[in-house]
Amino acid sequence: MSQSFRQRLWAILEVARPGDHVSRGFDIVLLSLIVLNILAVILDSVPSINRRVGPALNAFEWFSVAVFSAEYLLRLWSAPADPRFAQPIRGRLRFMVTPLALIDLIAVLPAYLPLFGLDLRFVRALRLLRIFRAAKLARYISALRLFGDVIREKREELILTTCVFGLMLLITSCLMYFAENEAQPEAFSSIPAAMWWSVVTLTTVGYGDIHPVTSLGRLLASFSAILGIGFFALPTAILGSGFIEEVEKRKKHHIRTCPYCGREISR
């Protein structure tokens, strides 16, 4: 009885399968609550609105925390119904470190931190973490799951480009420090200080608050700007090709997405 109840509860909490109206209704309610939470975070940042409906927003916040906390605990309790988390203790621990479970925990954790006597200024900053509840949408939106699949598939290439960016950042920062330190000892006081210039140059933002004045510095800056344009084309190309490969793979295997539950279906 307990096992069958756990399996049924897990089926309800997961994305609804075709024909499961109870699970579908739960998905709709939870999605609506997530969207309302995002809207509440936005409205809470407007002083005029906060003064008028602040207490109502706080009450809605605690209601949402109670619902999301109950959802997380129920997922944790019923996780062994999934073969991936079959063992009562190890399975639940394995479930707790999955990305979606961590997102569920982050969605409610900031609300409980004031109870531990933390600095109120720190708590006010943590309130902004409520916006991470938007990440809970990934469980229900197939396009976000597709994006996650592409990142997992291309993770090695993305890690490689990140390492290349770090190397470029270090080299350009060192060169610019040695080229500009004597001419601008305040702006380029150290290699870490030069990294700010390197970041805004390689990302092609170019705020202009720090810029080279020597001939060698300007020459290095020119090469850095050109390298930055070429570098940021790499992740775009990697992700673009990844999306094309994933879509073609699904077409090749005749995989479609159910319009009701968002799950993949084969034909």
* Whether residues 12 and 136 fall in one domain: yes
* Whether residues 31 and 111 fall in one domain: yes
In which band, very low, low, confident or very high, does the pLDDT at 260 lie, cut at 50, 70 and 90? Answer: very low
pLDDT score, position 259: 47
pLDDT by residue (tens digit) across 63-89?
998 999 999 999 999 999 988 898 889
* Whether residues 10 and 133 fall in one domain: yes
227 located within any domain: yes
Contact assessment for residue 108 and residue 34, using Cβ atoms and an 8 Å cutoff? no
Best CA proximity match to 173, nearest among 162, 161, 187: 187
115 located within any domain: yes
* Whether residues 115 and 238 fall in one domain: no
Which residue's structure tokens are 């009450």?
Answer: 59
More confident residue, 63 or 137: 63
Q: Number of folded domains in the chain? A: 2
Q: How far apart are CA 253 and CA 263, in angstroms?
A: 15
pLDDT score, position 165: 87
* Whether residues 134 and 24 fall in one domain: yes
148 located within any domain: no
Contact assessment for residue 233 and residue 204, using Cβ atoms and an 8 Å cutoff? no
* Whether residues 76 and 99 fall in one domain: yes
Q: Report the CATH number that the domain containing residue 38 is assigned in CATH.
A: 1.20.120.350
* Whether residues 108 and 167 fall in one domain: no
pLDDT score, position 122: 47
Q: What is the mean pLDDT of residues 227-237?
A: 82
Q: How far apart are CA 64 and CA 95, in angstroms?
A: 22
147 located within any domain: no
Q: Which domain holds residue 228?
A: 155-266
Amino acid identity at 174 = C
202 located within any domain: yes
* Whether residues 21 and 125 fall in one domain: yes
149 located within any domain: no
- Decide if pLDDT at 257 tops 80: no
Q: Report the CATH number that the domain containing residue 219 is assigned in CATH.
A: 1.10.287.70
Q: How far apart are CA 65 and CA 33, in angstroms?
A: 11
Q: What is the mean pLDDT of the chain?
A: 82
* Whether residues 111 and 205 fall in one domain: no
pLDDT score, position 2: 66
* Whether residues 118 and 230 fall in one domain: no
Last residue of a domain, one of 79, 114, 140: 140
146 located within any domain: no
pLDDT by residue (tens digit) across 164-209?
888 988 999 999 999 999 999 888 989 988 999 888 888 878 787 8
* Whether residues 88 and 179 fall in one domain: no
Backbone angles phi, psi at 255, to 5 degrees: -95, 125
pLDDT score, position 96: 93
16 located within any domain: yes
Last residue of a domain, one of 116, 140, 164: 140
Buried b (16+ CB within 10 A) or exposed e, 229-266: eebeeeeeebbeebbeebeeebeeeeeeeeeebbeeee
Last residue of a domain, one of 140, 167, 183: 140
* Whether residues 254 and 200 fall in one domain: yes
Contact assessment for residue 18 and residue 258, using Cβ atoms and an 8 Å cutoff? yes
> Residue 152 burial by CB count (10 A; 0-12/13-18/19+): exposed, middle or buried?
exposed
